[in-house]
Amino acid sequence: MSSSPIRQRRTDMGSGFPTLLRKELQRFWKVGFQTIAAPVLTALLYLLIFAHVLEGRVSVYDSLPYTSFLIPGLMMMSMLQNAFANPSSSLIQSRITGNLVFILLPPMSHLEIYGAYLLAAIARGLCCGIGVWLVALFFTDLSINNPFWVLGFAVLSCGVMGNLGIIAGLWSEKFDQLAAFQNFLILPATFLSGVFYSIHSLPEFWQGVSHWNPVFYMIDGFRHGFFSASDVSPWHSLAVVCLVFIGLSFFTLRLLARGYKLRN
């Protein structure tokens, strides 16, 4: 009988999940020049510089033009960095401004909080990736051979970084801690994952090191969806990305269930 009022309150108020999700989506959409247009511009600058310098000088997958090879890597890099940035920046700003308590007041479970932040992270990542792809069409005809591989790796990879963003946002108490997380983990992992090169162009030792980087499998599997060619089997890449996503999701849910640093 003691749980009846709680159920009634939850029924009357409804789930806070749609509200939190809408808030997180509007949060990045209302400042789209900063959260979407700016990453697209950054990717465009990378494309202009690297394509100008290396086009015709680097051979990838036998006859594939370097510009075409580069674009999926830039798309994935933009998606990953922005999927990480969305929940991490939201949580750290809520903690510093003191409004994190408003996430705890509604009758939401840790699954609903997790789902809202993760879906918003995936949405922002996909928006950035689509933006880079649309701009890149002005430079080369980049067709998609297998949209299921492209979409699958895009969603899973953004989900991985969304999980990392939630973890970083929960752990960080100051902006410099969040910056350290991003500068010493996210950026090296994305830049040293085959965005600008095929790992077969690396010495054998560094090829082995690259195989320990989960982001490499995200980018390689994503490229397979465009060209039906990759450095490793796309099924191998899919298995690695799925395992990383499941492991991080479980860890993130455990932190949220414990209220890790949410009530401090």
For the stretch 83-94, pLDDT in tens is 999 999 999 988
**pLDDT grade for 182, boundaries at 50, 70 and 90:** confident
Classify residue 1: in a domain, yes or no: no
Amino acid 55: pLDDT? 66
**pLDDT grade for 11, boundaries at 50, 70 and 90:** very low
Number of helices and strands in the chain (H, E): 13, 0
Classify residue 156: in a domain, yes or no: yes
Amino acid 51: pLDDT? 77
State the residue range of the domain holding 201.
14-258
Classify residue 264: in a domain, yes or no: no
Classify residue 6: in a domain, yes or no: no
Number of domains the chain contains = 1
Please report, for residues 151, 175, 225, 260, the alpha-carbon distance to residue 263 in angstroms, rounded to integers and kept in the order given. 37, 19, 43, 7
Taking only the tens place, the pLDDT of each residue in 111-137 is 999 999 999 999 999 999 999 999 988
Amino acid 9: pLDDT? 41
Classify residue 150: in a domain, yes or no: yes
Side chain identity at residue 216, one-letter code = F
Is the per-residue pLDDT at 4 higher than 60? Answer: no
The rounded mean pLDDT for the chain is 86
**pLDDT grade for 54, boundaries at 50, 70 and 90:** low
Amino acid 57: pLDDT? 62
> Is the pTM of the predicted complex or chain greater than 0.85?
yes
Amino acid 264: pLDDT? 62
Assess contact for 67 and 51: CB atoms under 8 A.
Answer: yes
Is the per-residue pLDDT at 47 higher than 80? Answer: yes
Classify residue 263: in a domain, yes or no: no
Classify residue 3: in a domain, yes or no: no
Assess contact for 47 and 136: CB atoms under 8 A.
Answer: yes
Classify residue 9: in a domain, yes or no: no
